[in-house]
Amino acid sequence: MRIFFGLCGIVLSFFMLKYRERVGDTMGEADWMRSVGGVYMIVIVLAVLIFLWSLAAITNTMDILLFPVFLIPGLSRPGPPPTPTF
């Protein structure tokens, strides 16, 4: 299933890049989008992020992709449960 969803994500990112004008017009433009390059740049960035996420899902390297996120305090994964000593 992860390969299927990964391929769907890659196809989605391709079509987001190909039809970015239509996607951008559908999304509309907010004030914060103007400071980062406009709505079309946001569509490009989203397409690249979806492509990388899908590629990591297919190759099972999601831990490597999300490693910087887990460096943020409070978002780290819990460690292994302690082993009881008798």
Tens digit of each residue's pLDDT (9 = 90 or more) over 33-86:
888 889 999 999 999 999 999 999 999 998 888 788 777 777 666 667 678 777
Q: Give pTM, 2 decimals.
A: 0.76
Residue type, 3: I
| Cα 11 to Cα 59: distance, rounded to the nearest angstrom | 16
Tens digit of each residue's pLDDT (9 = 90 or more) over 7-28:
999 999 999 999 999 999 998 8
| Cα 76 to Cα 31: distance, rounded to the nearest angstrom | 33
Q: Which residue's structure tokens are 């490009």?
A: 44
Neighbours of 51 (CB within 10 A): 19
Q: Of 41, 65, 45, which is closest to residue 53 (Cα–Cα)?
A: 65
